[in-house]
């Protein structure tokens, strides 16, 4: 039988969440190849988005916004997707929210 390694009354070590959900909101000029370039980094990491919604905005339709969501991914995957989205040709802005799943 092994002895306990923690002192009585000591707080249990914090458990790091293993999966995260990530929400990405991408803004870019309307371009026929944009959606495939936005989805590509997700696919390369072997992940399937839980949501992809794109719409043309800016009254004249010159801008596209993409709502891309991932769930059940490691934090590293979410971070890599965020970095890749910021590097996509034509992307003006990426807003990202990455949080542990409950």
β-pair type (51-57, 93-100): unpaired
Give pTM, 2 decimals.
0.81
Distance from C-alpha of 102 to C-alpha of 98, rounded to nearest angstrom: 13
pLDDT digits (tens, 9 = 90+) for 51-88: 999 999 778 889 999 999 999 999 999 999 999 999 99
Structural domains of the chain in order of their starting residue, each with its CATH number: 20-100 (3.30.70.260)
Q: Place 13 in a pLDDT band, splitting at 50, 70 and 90.
A: low
E-strand stretches of the chain: 20-29, 51-57, 63-73, 93-100
Q: Place 21 in a pLDDT band, splitting at 50, 70 and 90.
A: very high
């Amino acid at each position: 039988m092994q002895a306990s390694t923690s002192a009585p009354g000591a707080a249990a070590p914090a458990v790091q969440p293993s999966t995260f959900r990530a929400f990405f909101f991408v803004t870019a000029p309307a371009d026929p190849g944009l959606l495939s370039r936005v989805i590509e980094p997700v696919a390369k990491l072997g992940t399937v988005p839980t949501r992809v919604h794109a719409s043309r905005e800016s009254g004249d339709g010159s801008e596209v916004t993409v709502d891309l969501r991932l769930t059940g991914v490691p934090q590293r995957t979410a971070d890599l997707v965020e970095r890749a989205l910021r590097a996509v040709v034509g992307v003006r802005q990426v807003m990202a929210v990455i949080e542990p799943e409950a």
